[in-house]
Amino acid sequence: MKLTSESFTDQGKIPERYAFGKIDGQNHVALAGNVNPQLSWSDAPAGTQSFVVICHDPDVPSKPDDVNQEGREIPDTLPRVDFYHWVLIDVPATTTEIAEGSYSDGITPRGKAGPLALDGTRQGVNDYTAWFAADRDMNGDYFGYDGPCPPWNDSIPHRYIFTVYALDIAELPFEGRFTGADAMKAMQGHILGQASITGLYTLNPRLAG
């Protein structure tokens, strides 16, 4: 399989348009466009019944102690964990492209609705659901795509890995709400092929250049 995007190049910087947060000189971070990027794929294996699209960031700090703290920087030696930004399942086998902005165009406080989405697809909750859980203005279930917003004081740029999986089943066996980890577990044994592209993003002015 091959996966490409007109929105950013593989291993290149993700434009602010597709991010949740952007650099702000006064407050470190301001809200950004939060538009889902364009994706297209080809050469799916024979027997493909559906696709799953997942975007995750494998570079999230495993401890919150230094996150967004004045006068401190998150060290590059800190162990990192996954953060899911998009979990889209039950994409029809006839689909070969997702248009820019078709699933997200702007930030929705308390999260977009779900899991039902375009053309019979379903979307899981992303990890902003847990991130904003204690925020009275922003808490809620964040279904679908919400883009990059790494800590503004991280010493490394974050990687955002978009992966399309070709499955031998038409639907994943979920009812109601599900997460990225749930989808990864349910796909095991059903993946016929996959393809990924990676975009980079940082809110650290020192790294943004």
The per-residue pLDDT for 208 is 84
97-119 in b/e form (b: 16+ CB < 10 A) is ebebbebbeebbeebbebbebee
pLDDT by residue (tens digit) across 106-125?
999 999 999 999 999 999 99
Percent pLDDT > 90 in the chain is: 96
pLDDT by residue (tens digit) across 61-92?
999 999 999 999 999 999 999 999 999 999 99
Contact indicator for 93, 50 with CB cutoff of 8 Å: yes
Percent pLDDT > 70 in the chain is: 100
pTM beyond 0.95, yes or no: yes
The per-residue pLDDT for 129 is 96
AA identity, residue 143: F
